[in-house]
Amino acid sequence: MKQFVQHLPVITENNPNFIGVWSLNDITFTDLLIDFFNSNQMLQMDMTIVSKNGNKIDESVVKGKSILNIKAEGITNTRLLLYFKYLNECYKNYLLRWPTIIKQEKLGLLNNFEMHKFDKGSPNKYDPFYRRNQPVAGIYSLSFITFLNSVEKGGELEFYYHGTSIKAYRGVTVIYPSDWTHASKITSNVSDDLYIIRGDIGYYTYENKTYGVSLHSFEQDVKVKADVKDKKK
């Protein structure tokens, strides 16, 4: 059986750390995803942060970062379909390593995953972020990040409570719990433009509402060559 992903060890101050890291064996599609991001500039938004009283926070906090939001339901783009096929392999491997922590049959890819671009030299003054600090926290279980390119300095995924950072290497994918125990952020001052794709895995159906799709729906074969010819669409 063809192996799509390779698990990588993670050394942290805590054990077990529930942080899974994989290297994707076929990383040619990462350039196609970067091209997809850059070809959809009209749909991107620059990050802005507004305080509770409505005042805009220092622009230096968010300068140099763009986001493209994508809905998980109804994905037809072959670049994204191939990526989620590989992500599903990482997810299944994660479940083999920690099989008791979640009810896997009820989890899937949640809507509104994101592609991010951090401009060269841009700061990142955010506090460490985690998903389960929101009103719908119950649907979140795991978060994921894939680095679409490598940078020499900066851009690591830093886990605040675990004393470890995952370096930004092209094709490296990280899956970890969405709770405060795994609060994390991308570190500042990247030496080159950095592209990532990130999102969440959780209860995609909850209280008769749909919030995403099953990851099993991405297990079918995907024809990459057809997408290479059509990558500007």
Domain ranges of the chain: 5-43+60-229
Residue 222 has what pLDDT?
Answer: 61
Question: What is the C-alpha to C-alpha distance for residues 48 and 67, in angstroms, rounded to an integer?
Answer: 11
Q: What is the mean pLDDT of residues 144-167?
A: 93
**Amino acid identity, residue 51?**
S
Per-residue model confidence as pLDDT tens digits over 124-148: 555 566 665 555 545 778 999 999 9
Q: Write down the pTM of the prediction.
A: 0.81
The CATH number of the structural domain formed by 5-43+60-229 is 2.60.120.620
What is the SS3 assignment for 130-151?
CCCCCCCHHHEEEEEEEECCCC
Q: Are strands 113-118 and 65-70 parallel, antiparallel or unpaired?
A: antiparallel
Per-residue model confidence as pLDDT tens digits over 10-64: 766 667 889 999 998 888 889 999 998 888 876 655 544 444 444 444 444 445 6
Question: What is the C-alpha to C-alpha distance for residues 74 and 65, in angstroms, rounded to an integer?
Answer: 27
Q: What is the mean pLDDT of residues 154-159?
A: 92
**Amino acid identity, residue 185?**
K
